[in-house]
Amino acid sequence: MKIKVINGGMLTTVQDKGRYGFQASGVQVSGVMDWQAAYAANLLVGNDYGSAVLECTCMGPELEFHEDCLVAAAGGEPKLTLDGKPAEAYSAIRVKAGQVLKLSSMSQGMRGYIAVAGGIDVPEVMGSCSTNLKLGAGGLDGRRLGAGDVLSTGEPGTDAKEMLSGLKPCRRLQRTHAHEDMRIIRVVLGPQDDYFTSGAIEIFLSRAYEITADSDRMGYRLAGEKLERQIDGDMVSDGIVFGSVQVPPGGEPIIMMSDHQTTGGYPKVATVITADLPELAQSGPGTKVSFRAVSVEEAQAAYQEKLGQLEAAREVFENSRPASAAAGAALSGYGIKHYNVKVAGQQFEVSLQPVITRK
């Protein structure tokens, strides 16, 4: 199936879960900035969680579909239209041949993710479809999408075909979006927190920092109180991961993001936990963040909780009913449950969404 790009938006690229195994050769991992939103978008259209999607920054693309297909958008609060009429985010959308889908802007957050049943089909480079703009590799010729580009998609799965044909209801997830003036980001201290004075660590964990305009997919520069070092001089360069918080000589932290370099010589005061990377990905310039230290075990548990919610939602969707109490409870975090109900010998699929009333 072909998709024509009418307008590429501000910055739209093809991304998947990333390019692993080549950092020793200096090749960045890249991949989606918000793994949770990309997983949700793929889940809604019946794709594997790592299928290639379109990552859109602020203003998304305008796309014309050449055949009937199933599409979903997630991440922050994207504003969608289909042939100029409002369309629902966090829901699978049946798109007819010739229709135009547009992600015009983000009401909240910075990045939207558009998934198409079957995934975006581009050649893999080193085992990944992710676009690396600095290397000019992956995605569609290693670049952002522009007007006139044509994308191909893979073969939709069985569930997607049944949703598209109307044999199954379209999947929906309800997300609640926080609108806090301050984002609290959890970190694990280290690996070079010993390079900093105890006072600097206290400042890092108690003061607010602001994401500056000098921020992108490679890293977020923060403005705020400077961190004083107790060990001067350069350190031997070592590995960097998504979420590493480097502190250059100027003392203001930089958070490494998806397109981070593979090694660096600045000490790293902390590492953002995987569960909170989506919060950062949806934070733009001017957003204030503060940091809270947690243990490795707490970081792992937080990730497993978020991942478990999505996996439980997949289980419920694929089985058309909550397969277990845990699965039902996890999906309830997204506000909707699905059941099979038989009435007078006829089978119905029922979706229930809780409504809170106040007396």
- Per-residue model confidence as pLDDT tens digits over 314-334: 998 988 643 344 444 444 444
Tens-place pLDDT, residues 42-83: 999 999 999 999 999 999 999 999 999 999 999 989 999 999
Mean of all residue pLDDT scores within the chain: 89
Q: Looking at the structure, do residues 40 and 141 belong to the same domain, yes or no?
A: yes
Residues 319 and 281 in one domain: no
Same domain, 290 and 345: no
Q: What's the pLDDT at 339?
A: 53
Number of domains in the chain: 3
pLDDT of 208: 97
Q: 154: pLDDT confidence band, cut at 50, 70 and 90?
A: very high
275 with 239, same domain: the answer is: yes
For CA atoms 47, 52, 57, 63, give the dihedral sign: negative
Give the pLDDT score at 320.
Answer: 61
Residue 170 in any domain: the answer is no
pLDDT the model gives residue 350: 52
Determine, yes or no, domain membership for 176.
no
- The arithmetic mean of pLDDT across residues 253-280, rounded, is 96
Residue 236, classed as helix, strand or coil, is coil
Given a cut of 70, whether residue 356 has pLDDT beyond it is: no
pLDDT score, position 144:
97
The answer to whether residues 279 and 293 belong to one domain is yes
Range(s) of the domain holding residue 199: 182-298
Residues 200 and 306 in one domain: no
pLDDT bucket at 18, cuts 50 / 70 / 90 = very high
* Strand ranges across the sheet with 150-153: 85-87, 77-82, 100-108, 62-65, 2-7, 150-153, 120-121
Averaged over 118-131, what is the pLDDT?
A: 97
Rounded Cα distance, 315 and 324, in Å: 9
Please tell me the least confidently modeled range out of 46-60, 144-158, 240-254, 315-329.
315-329
For 25-99, where are the E strands, in sequence order?
53-57, 62-65, 69-74, 77-82, 85-87, 93-95
Identify whether 14 is part of a domain.
Answer: yes
119/204 same-domain check: no
Q: Based on the domain organization, do 206 and 311 belong to the same domain?
A: no
Q: Please indicate, yes or no, if residue 6 is contained in any of the structural domains.
A: yes
Measured distance between the N- and C-terminal CA atoms of the chain, rounded to whole angstroms: 52
Q: What is the pLDDT of residue 359?
A: 40
CA distance 30 to 257: 8
The pLDDT value recorded for residue 332 is 43
- Same domain flag for 220 and 109: no
Asked whether the predicted pLDDT for residue 346 surpasses 90, the reply is no
Q: Determine the pLDDT at residue 327.
A: 42
Structure tokens given for 103: 């992600």
Looking at the structure, tell me whether residues 22 and 158 fall in a common domain.
yes
Q: Considering the domain boundaries, does residue 175 fall inside one?
A: no
Q: How far is CA 332 from the centre of its chain?
A: 20
Does a cis peptide bond (omega within 30 degrees of 0) precede residue 253?
no
